[in-house]
Amino acid sequence: MFHKEGHKIIFISLVVLVASLLLIDYLIDLEWLRKSLMLVLLGFFLLILQFFRNPKRIGQLHDNHVLSPVDGKVVVIEEVFEKEFFNEKRLQVSIFMSPINVHVTRYPVGGKVVFSKYHPGKFLVAWHPKASEENERTTVVVENSIFGNVLHRQIAGALAKRIVNYAKENDTVTQGTDSGFIKFGSRVDVFLPLDSKIKVSLNQKVKGGVSIIAEK
């Protein structure tokens, strides 16, 4: 199953692939070169399919849990001052996604969307310290009955050139459902209350909509 954000790109890539294979077969006589080029093109197409895959996830939905919004590796767990929405200290958990990870962004908690904003910006590498403030990004805050306001921020990376955000203010959303999509490499930050119990460790691999990153 592929995410709707990839349907157009997959179709165009398929047309280009078929046309390129026919052209290579027609123009190149050297068998080893022809097969090599065909394999490279097929490999590239398979990478595109992998990037836009959207596996169904069945997590244990619970208001006492914060689920990972994305697939990837935990790269930051620290207390920080969040200045866009809270203007106070929060626990930040950041998850880095490589180009081969599933790039669907899911709501870490359920509740009411009270804030949703897009910020144009740079395309620094996603692990850069200033990426969360200077890169293209979106900020979404969901009011949850247990955790209060939980913020998650999609951050574009050096390869990501488009962030898709489905969250609209006053929407009632379900934990684990699609919040958006980031194309080609990125990271997501989650900001939690200071009394949250973090359930992940640095460099741990997590799955969006399944792995529990915090609880109360």
Of 158 and 149, which is predicted with more confidence? 149
Q: Which residues pair with 47 in a beta bridge?
A: none
Is 186 known to be catalytic? yes
pLDDT above 90 as % of the chain: 50
Is the Cα dihedral 129, 133, 139, 141 positive or negative?
positive
Residues sharing a CB contact under 8 Å with residue 112, sequence separation 6 or more, in sequence order:
142, 143, 170, 171, 172, 173
98: left (phi over 0), alpha (psi -120 to 50) or beta: beta
| In CATH, 65-215 is 2.70.70 | yes
Q: 13, 132, 186, 211: which is the annotated catalytic residue?
A: 186
**pLDDT tens, position by position, 86-104:** 999 999 999 998 877 877 8
Give dist(CA 24, CA 150) in Å, integer.
Answer: 52
**pLDDT tens, position by position, 37-62:** 889 888 878 877 776 777 777 667 78
Q: Where are the domains of the chain?
A: 4-51, 65-215
Q: pLDDT class for 187, splitting at 50, 70, 90?
A: confident
Alpha helices (runs of H) in the chain, residue ranges in sequence order: 7-27, 31-51, 131-134
